[in-house]
Amino acid sequence: MTGIDAIAGLFAGPGARDYLGEPVTIGEHMRQAGALAEAAGAPAPLVAAALLHDVGHLRNESDARHGSGGARWLARWFGAEVTEPVRLHVAAKRYLCATEPGYFALLSPESVRTLALQGGPMTPEQAAAFGALSHARDAVAVRRWDDEAKDPAITPPGFAYFAPLLAGLAGR
Ligand code: FE
């Protein structure tokens, strides 16, 4: 089975139809995030990261661990420019809560609830360390699309729309 087949199977599976406390299913949410990244003109690896950022949830990882667990799984097929924003998108929420006035107010109730489970806002020292990571900027971009991709009025493209982009990146 190729990586694309494995990922397609997760998007087609029952986990993608869960709601996880948001007004859209997790599969819709992930496809909305990918579409937002593409509409913003993001490069292909960052579109893939936005599309796949919650793949850990599809694999039943916990709220606190779904970034790192998803990234580890994706590393079988994708490089760091895809896996690092996925790994860091939970930390990016904690980072933005610490560094950007007004960010917390934008979070959905479910994102506020899980923030506590994920460690709460970063300390200034943690935020400085995060900001120095080479993929911090991309992780923050994924985080903003993540926060926006919860609109029940939007019907995002299906997984098949994104498959060629993923296939072009999955070099291993
Ligand atoms: Fe998400």
Per-residue pLDDT of the chain (172 residues; tens, 9 = 90+): 789 999 999 999 999 999 999 999 999 999 999 999 999 999 999 999 999 999 999 998 988 899 999 999 999 999 999 999 999 999 999 999 999 999 999 999 999 999 999 999 999 999 999 999 999 999 999 999 999 999 999 999 999 999 999 999 997 5
Ligand 1 center from residue 30 Cα (angstroms): 6
Cβ(74)–Cβ(84) below 8 Å: no
Ligand 1 center from residue 52 Cα (angstroms): 9
Ligand 1 center from residue 10 Cα (angstroms): 15
Ligand 1 center from residue 29 Cα (angstroms): 7
Domain that holds residue 32: 3-169
What total number of domains does the chain contain?
A: 1
Ligand 1 center from residue 118 Cα (angstroms): 14
Whole-structure pTM value? 0.96
Q: Read off the CATH number of the domain in which 30 is found.
A: 1.10.3210.10
Tokens in use for 22?
């948001």
Ligand 1 center from residue 165 Cα (angstroms): 20
Q: What pLDDT, on a 0 to 100 scale, did the predictor assign at position 63?
A: 87
